[in-house]
Structure 1
Amino acid sequence: MSLTALLVNIFALLVACLGAVLLLTTHLRRQRAMARLAAQSEARAVDQPMLFLDGRTERVHRLSYRLGFACLGLAMLASWVSTRL
């Protein structure tokens, strides 16, 4: 294995770890938000409207998921490229 391939593999590993951490933290943040929303909904009367997450929070979660999966895709691509070097 050449030094270039090794460096590309290290880059792929770093990007994959960052993407995985981003996905994990986003998932945990979303779970906490949903649990908080469920607790608020239980305290409300039946005839009041349902509570939903605000649009900004939903957009942040979607963006974080997309970025995390993009990092994993980039890591896979970089790893594949390293096998061709």
Structure 2
Amino acid sequence: MSLQVVWSLCLAYPSQAINGLALFLALSGGWLLLATRWREQRAVARVLAAGEGGALDVEGLASYAQVERLNRFFYGFGGLGLGAGLLLSWLSTRLQPGIWF
């Protein structure tokens, strides 16, 4: 398909183009949330398997705080992706074809 055909489809059906973008954002946000959760579960299983239970040294606490901050960032970014997908999907239902030009 040439770029002109793709662009004409986007102009003919703007709501479907925006809904496709919303689907992409929602899927990527959901995947990021799921991957972060899996990462947390693997880290807990690794600590329990090592037998360190509750014994963490000062360096371990510093790295734990950094990992927690990174996980919070990933959770926030994933939630933002899901929210943006929901907002774009809702806005795409309000569009009418032919009002662009």
Distance between the aligned counterparts of 1:16 and 1:64, measured in 2? Answer: 14
CA deviation profile, 1:44-82 (whole Å, cap 9, x unmatched): 7xxxx6336611111111110111011000000000000
User: For the aligned residues, what is the CA RMSD?
Assistant: 1.8
Pair 1:79-2:79 in alignment: no
* Structure 1 residue runs without a partner (length 5+): none
TM-score normalised by the chain length of structure 1: 0.82
Number of residue pairs matched by the alignment: 79
Deviation beyond 4 Å, 4+ runs, structure 1: none
Q: Which has the larger radius of gyration?
A: 2
Residues 74-83 or 29-38, more deviating: 29-38
TM-score normalised by the chain length of structure 2: 0.70
Match of 2:55 in 1: 50
Percent identity over the alignment?
A: 39
Match of 2:26 in 1: 16
